[in-house]
A and B are shown apart, each in its own frame.
Chain A
Amino acid sequence: MVNFFSLVTEFLQQLLNGLSLGAIYALIALGYTMVYGVLRFINFAHSDVFMVGAFIGYYFGKIVPVGTLWGGLLVLAGAMLGCALLGMLIERLVYRSLRPAPTLNVLITAIGVSLLLEYSGQLVFGAAPRTFPAIFPSANFHLGELTISSNQLFVIGVSIILMVFLQFVVFRTKIGTAMRAVSLNPKAAQLVGVNIDIVISFTFALGSALAGAGGILYALNYPSIDPLMGVMPGLKAFVAAILGGIGNIPGAALGGLLLGTVETFVGGSQWSTYKDAIAFAVLIVILLFRPAGLLGKFTVEKV
């Protein structure tokens, strides 16, 4: 019997599901948007840093007692640190020497790094999915007919904390100001004494740490991890970043939440088989009609 109350409940439940999924997209999208803002290129390898974060969590989770709060937080911190280092390493080894090259070359290289991480991952970890340990104590809360899992709340909570932290760093700290300066005009920033190399490294570290956190949170909710797990979420998070306005931090968050919610509602409807295509359709529509995204400014292509 479909009555009004159950419709509302279903709607609210899907909304919650969507926000939880969207929060993860938002975390990954933040990394894309920051790197694009500072370096003007799409770091394809970002989605694979996300995957590495999940695997770091997997191995780390084995030595930490299962199901405790502090143990889980330790794993989260460890994954974020590991990914930050990985991000800085990739930047230093690969992207730095390509800074003067045309964007297309860097894009192709980024694809190469992404593929390298994925296939090396398959080699090292094996392509078969692994079960992610339940590193946090989990419980389910019921609000009438609504069910909220503690993991979902955790995802939303951690994402909010991290995004607030990011806003703080970008707008209230010296290095954040330096980042904004570099994204506005790299040469002028250098002229006023900003050390570009350090700023870029820091940006990568920050973005990658967020991706690592995203990886852990994703694996918490969907405990089956494999080396190719980052491909789809990465693409969707990228669409989310563009949706919100690439280079715009609150935009990435908004884009992620919106995309996650829309995708969830489509998934629960009769067109669920087109769920994946939604993200790409959104991408095309946005790029055609409002390339600056929802919150972005329209930048004029200099002649």
Chain B
Amino acid sequence: MKFLRPFFLVAFASTALAADPIKVGEYASLTGKEASFGQSSHKGLVLAFEEINAAGGVLGQPFELLTEDNQTKPGESATAAKKLIARDKVIALLGEVSSGRSLEAAPIAQANKIPMIAPAATNPKVTQTGSYIFRVCFIDPFQGTVMAKFAKDDLHAKRVAILSSVSNAYSVGLAKYFRETFVASGGEVVAEKNFSEGDKDFRAQLTAVKAENAEAVFVPSYYTEAALIVRQARDLGITVPFFGGDGWEAPQLLEIGGAALDGCYYSTHFSPQNQAPVVQEFVKKFKARWNDETPDAFGALGYDSAYVLADAIKRAGTTEGPKLRAALAATRNFAGVTGITTIDANRDASKPAAILAIKDGKLSFYKTVAP
């Protein structure tokens, strides 16, 4: 049982001798139900900051990463953000993977004029909170469109069922965007069922879905429920493909889902099998740093968010709130491991999506979809 110390005062700050460290705050779900997400993005962030500091830091100063664990609990992210901003006086906030938890901290960052970069929160509402909130990933309207097109063009499905979580901001949003695009392009949503986070039994909903004879089923939820849903679906004799969004991205997905997941797909931000040199470099460095662990989308996005922040500080020439904010908003064509990041007028990033397929219990890269 790993005992994670909430405070990761990174030791390399000392290498810059007398220079004051630049304090950056991170809040993530390092423990709790969605620990997989938080730990992934955390590892990406730490790797990035270590590299940046080894290269001399930014503006001659090293970074100091202060991490708070929100334990995947609602309400904790707000407290963590307040503490990092008010007590630790961080100049920027990095977090989170979950849209719901990002929405907790965003108003606090906004009120205090501290820029916040969410590595992987995809619900549009996050950046709508205010001018200081940014993200380096695509948003759900895009992801929903990608999967709607995928269902129509690749799965050749005209009749699709949707199974979404009613207690999860991400799931509700993604389902909505998928439905809008899919219906607009001539498809039919034959059934739409809901469940709650933490539910284990989906047979009731799946039986109803089965009766409607859908050609494919969209499950825009997190991996914990998605894996169980697909398993139970196979048990009930539903053989059509299931597909989902980036919430499926976690090693436990395959662990829990097992053979049931064969023939399923999901969209995400990054694929370690992408042969582009910058991606393979990153995969190598990540594995070397973190015990031969292959990075997933959240590790990659965490890594990129750190670099985007550093780049903005360099361009702004200062860590002062309003100037840093302006520099972040002006980020154009930043080349990262998850693709080219350009921050648009809504402070969102327009990034390509990678669709992964699951075959024989392994993930394989299916295709990239550009915005």
Contacts and interface: CB of A to CB of B under 8 A. Distances in A.
Nearest to B198: A232
A159 interface: no
A273 B228 contact: no
Contacts of B194: 272-273
A173 interface: no
A195 interface: no
Given A126-B1, A127-B31, A129-B33, A273 B203 contact: no
A148 to B, nearest CB: 9
Contacts of B71: 127
Contact of A223 (B31, B208, B231): B231
B47 interface: no
23 contacts: A2-B211, A10-B210, A21-B201, A126-B1, A129-B224, A131-B255, A142-B237, A147-B236, A147-B237, A149-B236, A151-B235, A223-B228, A224-B200, A226-B33, A264-B203, A265-B204, A268-B193, A268-B204, A268-B205, A269-B208, A273-B194, A275-B195, A276-B196
Which are the 4 A-B pairs with shortest beta-carbon distances?
A: A267-B204, A222-B200, A268-B204, A147-B237
A58 to B, nearest CB: 13
Interface in A190-245: 218, 221-224, 226, 228-229, 232
B252 A128 contact: yes
Given A140-B235, A223-B228, A10 B196 contact: no
A224 B228 contact: yes
B271 interface: no
Highest count of chain A CB atoms <10 Å: which of B71, B196, B207, B252? B207
A224 B201 contact: no
A145 B236 CA distance: 9
Contacts of B224: 129, 224
Nearest to A232: B198
Given A2-B211, A13-B207, A14-B207, A127 B237 contact: no
Nearest to B36: A128
Given A129-B256, A131-B255, 8 more contacts: A13-B210, A122-B31, A140-B235, A147-B236, A149-B235, A221-B200, A222-B200, A275-B199
Interface in A110-133: 122-124, 126-129, 131
A177 interface: no
Contacts of B207: 10, 13-14, 17, 268
B204 A14 contact: yes
Interface in B115-157: none
Interface string A258-270: 0000011111110
B200 A127 contact: no
B79 to A, nearest CB: 18
A122 B69 CA distance: 15
B227 interface: yes
A14 to B, nearest CB: 5
A6 interface: yes
A127 B35 contact: yes
B35 A128 contact: yes
Interface in B1-60: 1, 31-36
Nearest to B193: A272
B72 interface: yes
A233 to B, nearest CB: 8
Contacts of B31: 122, 126-128
Contacts, number: 106
A127 B203 contact: no
A267 B236 contact: no
Interface of A: 2, 6-7, 9-10, 13-14, 17-18, 20-21, 122-124, 126-129, 131, 140, 142, 145, 147, 149, 151, 218, 221-224, 226, 228-229, 232, 263-269, 272-273, 275-276
A127 B33 contact: yes
B228 A222 contact: yes
A269 B195 CA distance: 11
B166 interface: yes
Contacts of A276: 196
Contacts of A263: 204
B253 to A, nearest CB: 10
Interface string B310-336: 000000000000000000000000000
A129 B252 contact: yes
A249 B337 CA distance: 61
Contacts of B34: 128
Given A13-B236, A129-B224, A272 B35 contact: no
B237 A140 contact: yes
Contacts of B203: 17, 20-21, 264
Given A223-B231, A223-B256, A126 B35 contact: yes
A264 B207 CA distance: 10
A131 B253 CA distance: 10
B59 to A, nearest CB: 38
Contact of A224 (B32, B193, B237, B256): B256
Contact of B256 (A18, A131, A273): A131
A146 B291 CA distance: 47
Nearest to A24: B201
Contacts of B204: 14, 17-18, 263-268, 272, 275
Contact of A268 (B208, B227, B255): B208
Nearest to A266: B204
Contact of A267 (B205, B228, B252): B205
A105 B246 CA distance: 47
Nearest to A231: B198
B235 A147 contact: yes
B41 to A, nearest CB: 15
B365 to A, nearest CB: 25
A123 B200 CA distance: 22
A7 B211 CA distance: 8
Nearest to B250: A128
Contacts of B235: 140, 147, 149, 151
Highest count of chain B CB atoms <10 Å: which of A9, A129, A142, A268? A129
B130 to A, nearest CB: 31
